[in-house]
């Protein structure tokens, strides 16, 4: 069975940090930061994606860099439309003649209003028929979980703005939830810790860099220091271009910052119905999403949740790979696209 019998077909993962688009038959053709830069007046964007990210990272003051998605949901509608329009055209390689059909991932816990915002933004950006799939289903498929088995896998998709959670079993997702806590919150915690402990104010792009340089939630034997740009020494009210910050204490801060998420997950597991708990005991917790790239996350989650934990092979790409699976082989997955939690609006 073919979901969209004519026209071009796209899969879109519109994330807080990254947008991925796959074109049917061609694989993932767009991987870009989820950012748009506007000049004065905010009519047309001056830069989108990686070009906007460069402006943000350099802190260029003449433009306003907007992140259209926050906490996994559309936060700035016009910016989202401008970005999607540009990326859809980039994915197709030309201006669309017929509106392309789209399979899009949405946060499991999105409200009706948030789903409408997603649908309307895609339509305004030129999409035709839209099929929505919840993120834990897409991430589970993209992580290569077995479709025909009784085991349960607790998907934990730790993105930039949110963590999507759901129990994947036999190709179905139950107990889907979105916790609005992700990698951005880890950056924010680092900014506060550096301000309080070292009297330094750093930018969010610097916090992101510091997190990735530390790269771990475990103490490393030879930590060292990394140069951080554009730092304000608060007491002296002095701005310095570059400042060496030790990374040895970063893992400890990250573990503390992950506490609210671990607490929420503990509760979600405790609150599962008995039948789901039994399925999960046969399976494992599966980590996907960019936040999972920190070393030692599997051990941290294993210790706290007392469950076997695996990290997916390409954490940043699981959602788009799962959407691509749905796009390419819908008949292998579902009867009319509904059985697996999809929802044609
Ligand atoms: N090497 C790395 N080490 C640590 N964190 C990383 C690394 N690479 C990316 N991240 C983090 O991963 C997050 C981005 O992940 P991802 O692309 O899965 O999010 P997203 O899908 O855009 O967001 P969401 O699903 O929440 O809307 C960011 O918070 C980023 O800091
Ligand atoms: Mg994501």
What are the residue boundaries of the structural domains of the chain, listed by start? 9-137+318-344, 146-181+255-315, 183-252
The CB of 107 under 6 Å from ligand 1? The reply is no
Q: How far apart are CA 51 and CA 43, in angstroms?
A: 17
* Nearest atom within ligand 1 for CA of residue 164: 25
Q: What pairs with residue 310 in β-bridges?
A: 286
Q: Which of 28-32, 95-99, 163-167 has the lowest mean pLDDT?
A: 95-99
Nearest CA to ligand 1 atom 10: 290
Position 342 scores a pLDDT of 45
* Nearest atom within ligand 1 for CA of residue 186: 29
Pocket test for ligand 1, best of 17, 182, 295 (most atoms within 8 A of CB): 17
For 150-163, the pLDDT digits (tens) are 899 999 999 999 99
Centre of ligand 2 from the C-alpha of residue 198, in Å? 32
Domain 183-252: assigned CATH number: 3.90.640.10
Which two three-digit tokens encode residue 59?
Answer: 């802190």
User: SS3 for 305?
Assistant: helix
- pTM score of the predicted model: 0.93
The residue among 221 and 172 whose pLDDT is bigger is 172
Count CA atoms within 13 Å of residue 243 on its CB side. 20
Position 330 scores a pLDDT of 64
146-181+255-315: what fold? Answer: Nucleotidyltransferase; domain 5 (3.30.420)
Q: How far apart are CA 88 and CA 68, in angstroms?
A: 16
Widest Cα–Cα separation across the chain? 67
Neighbouring residues of 161: CB distance < 8 A, sequence distance ≥ 6? 15, 16, 17, 69, 70, 71, 72, 73, 180, 182, 183, 184
Which residues, chain by chain, have CB under 5 Å from ion ligand 2? 15, 159
Centre of ligand 2 from the C-alpha of residue 140, in Å? 12
Looking at all shown ligands, the one closest to residue 31's CA atom is 1
The CB of 213 under 6 Å from ligand 1? The reply is no
DSSP 236: T
Nearest CA to ligand 1 atom 5: 291
Element counts in the chain: helices (H) and strands (E): 11, 19
Domain 9-137+318-344: assigned CATH number: 3.30.420.40
The CB of 68 under 6 Å from ligand 1? The reply is no
Q: How far apart are CA 272 and CA 37, in angstroms?
A: 43
Q: Which of 7-21, 220-234, 259-273, 294-308 has the lowest mean pLDDT?
A: 220-234
User: SS3 for 242?
Assistant: strand
Same fold? 9-137+318-344, 146-181+255-315: yes
Neighbouring residues of 90: CB distance < 8 A, sequence distance ≥ 6? 21, 29, 30
């Amino acid at each position: 069975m073919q979901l969209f019998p004519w026209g071009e077909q796209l899969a879109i993962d519109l994330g807080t940090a990254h947008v991925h688009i796959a074109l049917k038959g061609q694989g993932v053709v767009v991987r870009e930061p989820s950012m748009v830069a506007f000049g004065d007046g905010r009519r047309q964007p001056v830069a989108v994606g990686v070009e906007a990210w460069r402006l943000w990272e350099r802190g260029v003051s003449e433009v306003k860099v907007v992140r259209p998605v926050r906490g996994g949901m559309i936060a700035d509608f016009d910016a989202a439309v401008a970005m999607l329009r540009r990326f859809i055209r980039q994915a197709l390689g030309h201006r669309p003649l017929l509106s392309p059909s789209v399979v899009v991932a949405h946060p499991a816990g999105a409200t009706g209003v948030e789903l409408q915002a997603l649908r309307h933004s895609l339509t305004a950006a030129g999409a035709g028929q839209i099929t929505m799939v919840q993120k834990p289903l897409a991430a589970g498929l993209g992580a290569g979980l077995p479709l025909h088995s009784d085991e349960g896998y607790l998907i934990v998709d730790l993105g930039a703005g949110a963590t999507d959670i759901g129990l994947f079993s036999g190709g179905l997702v139950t107990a889907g939830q979105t916790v609005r806590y992700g990698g951005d919150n880890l950056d924010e915690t680092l900014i506060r810790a550096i301000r309080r402990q070292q009297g330094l104010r750093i930018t969010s792009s610097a916090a992101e860099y510091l997190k990735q340089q530390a790269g771990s939630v475990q103490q490393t034997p030879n930590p060292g220091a990394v140069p951080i740009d554009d730092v304000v020494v608060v007491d002296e009210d002095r701005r310095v271009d570059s400042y060496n910050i030790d990374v040895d204490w970063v893992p400890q801060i990250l573990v503390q910052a992950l506490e609210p998420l671990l607490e929420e997950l503990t509760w979600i597991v405790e609150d599962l119905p008995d039948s789901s708990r039994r399925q999960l005991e046969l399976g494992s917790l599966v980590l996907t999403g960019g936040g999972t790239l920190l070393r030692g996350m599997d051990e941290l989650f294993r210790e706290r949740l007392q469950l076997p934990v695996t990290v997916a092979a390409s954490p940043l790409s699981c959602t788009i790979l799962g959407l691509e699976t749905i796009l390419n082989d819908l008949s292998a997955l579902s009867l009319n696209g509904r059985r697996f939690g999809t929802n044609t609006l």
